[in-house]
Amino acid sequence: MEKDNGIPYLGRDNKESNLKSKWIREGLHKDINAIGWAKGFAYHLAVTDEKRDLIEYNKNGKPVFRSNLSTNQLRKFFGEMKRIQAQDFDKEGKWLTAFKMLKPKLAYAVGRERNKNPKIYDFYIELQAGIDAVENKEHFQSFVQIVEAIVAYHKYFEKTEKIEENEQD
């Protein structure tokens, strides 16, 4: 039986497979493809594709792959986003400022990464487009739903990847 890994994520340079701002602005109920995209993107972030993720060979001739997005990196972003969601939406728009600050925080996480071309960079590129699309509470709720789907599928794919690795040993 073939696995359902969602809508394939073809890379940050492929506009057809990027997060769509309309999903945030119009809501997920208008286009269910957002959930399929989140699933495919989570698969990309959690699972190493030996063809697509190969960076180079080290001096011993062993392949070096892009580093997957760790659960810790994902949970840190998700926790901050949920903290903003739990606060009351104030009239002065402070929640929106706190939310928009997630972009530089993600950029910092990318900058801390020591590996070449880490997948957290893909996460940053995709989510910054989503953050830019948020202008009000309804947009924010749609963004939260997309990220929740990414987190859930990331956990699933990360776990199934480890099970498959253990079965091969």
pLDDT tens-digit map of 52-104 = 888 888 888 888 888 999 999 999 999 999 999 888 766 667 889 999 999 99
Strand partners, 134: none
Question: Regarding predicted confidence, which is higher, 49 or 166?
Answer: 49
Residue whose pair of structure tokens reads 């699972």 in the numeric block: 47
- Residue 123 in contact with residue 75, Cβ under 8 Å? no
Query: What does pTM read for this prediction?
Result: 0.87
Mean pLDDT (the chain, rounded): 87
- Measured between alpha carbons, how far is 25 from 7 in angstroms, rounded to an integer? 20
- Measured between alpha carbons, how far is 143 from 49 in angstroms, rounded to an integer? 27
End-to-end Cα, the chain, rounded Å? 22
Long-range Cβ contacts of 48-56 (<8 Å, 24+ apart): 48/161, 52/11, 55/116, 55/117, 56/116
- Residue 12 in contact with residue 122, Cβ under 8 Å? yes
Burial of 91 (0-12, 13-18, 19+ CB in 10 A): exposed
- Residue 152 in contact with residue 41, Cβ under 8 Å? no
Q: What is the pLDDT of residue 2?
A: 47
Q: Where are the alpha helices (DSSP H) in the chain?
A: 21-26, 33-46, 71-86, 94-100, 102-112, 119-133, 137-168
What is the tens place of the pLDDT at every residue in 4-22? 777 888 888 888 889 999 9
Among the ranges given (2-11, 111-120, 153-162), the one the predictor scored with the smallest mean pLDDT: 2-11
